Amino acid sequence: MVQQFFRTVLAGFIAGLVVFILPFALFRIFLAMALMGLVFKLLRPRGSHGYRSHHPFARRFEGMSEEERNEFMAKFGRRCGFTPPPASTTNA
């Protein structure tokens, strides 16, 4: 009977400890996640709204005329693994 009493007291003590400590632990986890999110947001580049803002070359390439683009592809087309299609298979 004494052993059962101590088990009940121990279980109540552990339950009370968990109920008392859990909100502090959850608050710390929430606070840590919020701080990490703020740090990542502050370290992000300012103009990170998509591909075009990171690559000014993309804007330059989009602004080329068809003649300039063909000249560029003829000059630099085989770099970085890009292989232009043969001239005989182009759609007319």
Rama region for 50: left / alpha / beta (φ>0; ψ in -120 to 50; rest): left
Contacts of 78 (CB under 8 A, 6+ apart): 84
pTM score, whole prediction: 0.39
Residue-wise pLDDT tens for the chain (92 aa)? 888 999 999 999 999 998 998 888 899 999 999 999 999 888 876 655 554 455 667 777 778 888 988 888 787 766 665 565 666 655 55
The domains of the chain are located at: 1-44, 47-79
Task: Tell me the per-residue pLDDT of 36-50, one tens digit each, with 9 for 90 and over.
Answer: 999 988 887 665 555
